[in-house]
Chains A and B, each alone.
Chain A
Amino acid sequence: DTGVSQDPRHKITKRGQNVTFRCDPISEHNRLYWYRQTLGQGPEFLTYFQNEAQLEKSRLLSDRFSAERPKGSFSTLEIQRTEQGDSAMYLCASSTQTSGTYNEQFFGPGTRLTVL
């Protein structure tokens, strides 16, 4: 399967713990996006990378959230000191990027986080 993969698929943690999620994009895609989706809502943009550079971060991304893409391939999203309000599905997407052209984002299956 050459699609976007995410690990783990499910994570249950206690309030105050740190969690880290991983996303492996489609191999030739240089753009990688993170979104968060809560029940009954559409996905909300969190951040995106072009290669290893983090180009934009949403105001939703508090100081407890950090994302990296160190070699321009896979990415990690870490949440420190989790809160119950962090419970959500965390989605990763990837795309190619050609100057002046939008390219389709392909989504992974998501990581469902439950904070107890």
Chain B
Amino acid sequence: AQSVSQHNHHVILSEAASLELGCNYSYGGTVNLFWYVQYPGQHLQLLLKYFSGDPLVKGIKGFEAEFIKSKFSFNLRKPSVQWSDTAEYFCAVNPRKLIFGQGTELSVKP
């Protein structure tokens, strides 16, 4: 069955710390991979996406993710987080409709 697993449910960081959120997926075919973010009180927004080509993709607000096919992983990174990055982050895979992980809540302390 297709599935997405996010390693951490809740991550707490101080401002300027580096961030890496893990995501592993299970899907047999060609995948499109995504990270969505949901800021408090707002709706889901696309952070970045991978379709093909360069496995290192850059998104908005300084986020990037690396697709490692051999590890079925698509981890999200940011070198230096800000308080405004406090949000819930969802990894997703799309054959035709989005299959989401359970989400990681990121809290950044000022």
| A15 to B6 Cα, complex, angstroms | 33
Q: Which residues of B contact A43 (CB under 8 A)?
A: 44, 90, 98, 100
Starting from the known contacts A41-B103, A42-B103, A107-B44, 17 additional A-B residue pairs (CB-CB under 8 Å) come to: A35-B98, A42-B92, A42-B101, A43-B44, A43-B100, A45-B98, A45-B99, A91-B43, A93-B98, A102-B32, A102-B94, A104-B46, A104-B49, A105-B98, A107-B43, A108-B43, A110-B43
A74 touches B (CB below 8 Å): no
Q: A42-B92, A43-B90 are in contact. Are A48 and B102 (CB under 8 A)?
A: no
In the complex, the answer to whether A33 meets B97 with C-beta atoms within 8 Å is yes
CB distance from A53 to the nearest CB of B (A): 14
Among B43, B45, B100, B101, chain A packs the most CB atoms within 10 A around the CB of B43
A104 vs B46: C-alpha distance in the bound complex, in angstroms? 8
A40 within 8 A of B: yes
The contact size tier of chain B is 20 to 34
Any chain A CB within 8 A of the CB of B61?
no
Q: Tally inter-chain residue pairs, CB-CB below 8 A.
A: 46
Q: Which A positions have Cβ atoms within 8 angstroms of B?
A: 33, 35, 40-45, 48, 56, 91, 93, 102, 104-105, 107-110
The proximity string for B residues 68-110 relative to A, scoring 1 for CB distances below 8 Å and 0 otherwise, is 0000000000000000000000101010111111110000000
Complex Cα gap A60–B4 (Å): 17
Q: Is B51 an interface residue (CB 8 A)?
A: yes
- When the two chains form their complex, are residues B46 and A102 in contact, meaning their CB atoms are under 8 A apart? no
- Please measure, in the bound complex, the distance between the C-alpha atom of A104 and the C-alpha atom of B60, giving whole angstroms: 15
